[in-house]
Amino acid sequence: MGLSGQSPLIDSPAQLIPRCIFLLRFGSRRGSGSGKTMVRLGIPRATTSPSRPISRQNNPPRLTPAIAGAPNPRGMAKKAAPKSAAAAAGNCKYWLLKTEPGEWSWSDQARAPGGGVAPWDGVRNRQAVNGLRAMRVGDRCLFYHSGAGAASRRVVGVVEVAREWYEGEGEAASGGAVDVRAVGEFRRPVALGEIKKAAGGGGGEVEGMREFALLRQPRLSVMPVPAKVWDWICEMGGGFVQDGEDEDDS
C-alpha cells in the first residue's frame, strides 16, 4: 500500500510483467462459472475518438426540392411560340372560351397553380359542352373577357388544352371540364368591335370571319375558331407574352 492507502499505479515494465504472468496463471480460477473473468489491472482503458466530433451540423445540408409551379424570379420561357406542337403537326384545332372577368379573369388563370393550369367547367349549354368534349391536348383557345359593357368584350390571351374532357369532381360532379394552361397574354387586347369591323364588306374582310360563331351566336361560350380568323386575331394582338417576358423582348 502507498502513503495514500491506495494501490500504487503500475508505471514500469519491471512491475507490470510479473503481475501479468500471475494473472495468466491464476486469474481464470476466480471466475463465477460464466467463463468470463473481469480483472482490473489498474491500467487506464484506451479509447479511440475521432479527430473531431461527429455532429449533424457537420453533415451537408439537405437541399429542398423546388416547389412545382413556384414563380420563377427570372421569368419563364421568353417567348410563346405562335403555334403549339400539335399545331405544327397539323393536328391542332382552335377555340374561343368566354369568361366573365369578375368570376374568372386572365389574371386568375395566369396565377393558377402548376404553371397556370385550371379546369374550365361550369358549362351547361349542350353545344358548348360538345365543343369542350371535342378538344384535344395541345389545342389552343382564345381567352375572351365577356361583360355587360362593349368595352370589356375582348380577347386578352391564349390558353392551351392540358387535359381532355373528364367528369366533374367534388362541387362540379354534375358536369364535366377540360384543363387549360395559360400560354400568353396579348400585348394588345383585341376588342369585339375590331372583330366586327373585320367581318364587314368592302373586300377587306378576313376569310371565315362572317361565319365566326362569336358574331353569329353571341351567347355561345365555347366555339371553334377558323384558322384564318385565329391568325388575324393573334396578329392584331401583337402576339402574346408569357409571364416574366418584357414587352420589348424579341
pLDDT 10s per residue in the chain (250 long)? 444 455 455 456 566 666 656 555 555 444 444 444 444 444 444 443 333 333 333 443 333 233 233 333 333 333 344 455 565 556 799 999 999 999 999 999 999 999 999 999 999 999 999 999 999 999 999 999 998 787 789 999 999 999 999 997 665 556 899 999 999 999 999 999 999 999 876 556 788 898 999 999 999 999 999 999 999 999 999 987 764 455 454 4
pTM score of the predicted model: 0.63
CA-CA-CA-CA torsion sign (69, 74, 75, 77):
negative
User: How far is Cα 161 from Cα 191, in angstroms, rounded to an integer?
Assistant: 23
Q: What is the CATH number assigned to the segment(s) 87-241?
A: 3.10.590.10
Domain segments of the chain as ranges: 87-241
Contact criterion met (CB below 8 Å) for 176 and 191: no
* Pairing label, strands 94-99, 140-145: parallel
